[in-house]
Chains A and B, each alone.
Chain A
């Protein structure tokens, strides 16, 4: 069950790469005439919740799908712990993908299957577990995403938020090495959002997963933003963590982070506080 086991193989294969991570180098992607990604480089480390943030339409989904190989980049390389995706052959790509869990923006549940069949799917497909073991694992996972009593329902019989949680359960059920989530808590109430964020962070740490999350939810950014990549107009405008993001003077970030009136007020208060502090310090010096 635990896919972690073969890490050592890859380490002995390439002793220089000690850190497990996804490395993105200069990726570009266009659709027809519109260039959506204009050369983005960054790294996503394992054991961390990495966030991609940006306005609606800034290319977050395209970026994530390019990382996953659903879109082929026009230029640039993506490597998973040293394995360069475009250099792999078809079977190697498939093998790599069995180590990936993905939560799509629209959930993408199989609508001919019940909730528990959806979650059991990766296990039935890629493990040799017996039905009983699979069902135990499925129930355990559904429990973790706070979803009970929906096992036998079909995706169109449950709410959007519940669908999201099923999608998360399906993504994590087979202990992935890489976890990608496209706006995992859009459509969820604030309370469940936090539960989901915490859950994702928890399993990221527990299994040392390389997690990449698309979001424009400021709560998530502040809560779990251990590494944040801010996309604007197809470029990486800024990167840092959730503490740095509050202090940065980058205008686009400030506009993005403090877009709501509430946050603007908070920022004003914080800045006033800081100035007072400064004034105080200066007084002391004088």
Chain B
């Protein structure tokens, strides 16, 4: 328990250091572009694939469970929209990202630690935390855009699966999507993903930066970092849902 508190303390000290003494903009700018490329653009394909099919699966599951003829078929669309916007895209995709972007971050920073590249930065007088972590945080500010795309693809997947699976007509599905729509839910999804983006950038960085040992430990650090990122994402999800929706 004390160890966990100690870790949490160190995590916040790390955050303070990340925003301390910024690196020159000419040096920082290409780093940010590179991280956008690696973390955002590079994750697009897997996010698109998963969102599309999850949307489809949700639609089919709802359709199969709708046996009561009194309930309108448009509910399939309504249920798909709600689950995609509220949970599947923001939370589920973030867990996927904890695996993809998160372990990439931990292993790349961890390797730099093991091969003394971080020491080399520090010896030169570079604020290595700012240099390494800040561009990742900035890149992941774009993370809500990823989720916006994921939401669109998820609903599209639901629509295709429901219509071409013969569960509901296209018109009725589209009517269902518009039923009882609260724009606040979109905002809620974006607030969540904005915070998840920050978590996705910083917790894996923390585990990579403070790791000790050799190549084997880099692998272990990635695993630990994945577990912690997921735990924190789920906890924050719970808290935000309580705070914002109830």
Contacts and interface: CB of A to CB of B under 8 A. Distances in A.
Interface string B91-118: 0000000000000000000011001110
A125 B27 contact: yes
A70 B117 CA distance: 12
Given A108-B116, A110-B117, A124-B26, A102 B21 contact: no
Interface in B3-42: 21, 23-24, 26-27
B127 A111 contact: no
A94 B21 contact: yes
B124 A104 contact: no
A94 B125 contact: yes
A97 B122 contact: yes
B116 A98 contact: no
B232 interface: no
A121 B119 CA distance: 15
B240 interface: no
Nearest to A99: B125
B interface bracket (residues with beta carbon within 8 Å of A) = 10 to 19
A57 interface: no
B161 to A, nearest CB: 41
A102 B123 CA distance: 7
A106 interface: yes
Given A108-B117, A108-B120, A97 B125 contact: yes
Given A94-B21, A125-B24, A125-B27, A100 B123 contact: yes
Contacts of A121: 124
Interface in A95-145: 95-98, 100, 102, 104, 106, 108-111, 121-122, 124-126
A125 B123 CA distance: 13
Contacts of B23: 125
B156 interface: no
Interface in B127-155: 127
B123 A68 contact: yes
A13 B111 CA distance: 42
Contacts of A102: 120, 123-124
A91 interface: yes
B163 interface: no
Given A91-B21, A94-B21, A124-B26, A70 B119 contact: yes
B160 interface: no
Q: For the complex, would chain A's binding face be called helix, strand, loop or mixed by DSSP majority?
A: helix
**Most A CB within 10 A of own CB, among B24, B124, B126, B127:** B124
Interface residues of A, number: 24
Interface string A247-259: 0000000000000
A106 B126 contact: no
A104 B120 contact: yes
B118 to A, nearest CB: 9
B21 A108 contact: no
A153 B119 CA distance: 23
B133 to A, nearest CB: 15
A136 B51 CA distance: 50
Contacts of A93: 125
Nearest to B121: A110
A98 B23 CA distance: 14
Contacts of B119: 65, 70, 104, 108
Contacts of A96: 125
A251 to B, nearest CB: 35
B115 A108 contact: yes
Contacts of B117: 108-111
A65 B122 CA distance: 11
Contacts of B26: 124
A104 B125 contact: no
A70 B123 contact: yes
A126 B127 CA distance: 12
Given A91-B21, A94-B21, A125 B124 contact: yes
Contacts of B126: 125
Contacts of B122: 70, 97
A100 to B, nearest CB: 6
A126 B27 CA distance: 10
A93 to B, nearest CB: 8
A111 B116 CA distance: 11
Chain B CB within 10 A, most for which of A65, A104, A111, A125: A125
Interface of A: 65, 68-70, 91, 93-98, 100, 102, 104, 106, 108-111, 121-122, 124-126
14 contacts: A68-B123, A70-B123, A97-B124, A98-B124, A102-B124, A104-B119, A106-B115, A108-B120, A110-B112, A111-B115, A124-B27, A125-B23, A125-B27, A126-B124
Q: Nearest 7 A-B pairs (CB), nearest first?
A: A97-B125, A98-B125, A108-B116, A108-B120, A94-B125, A102-B123, A104-B116
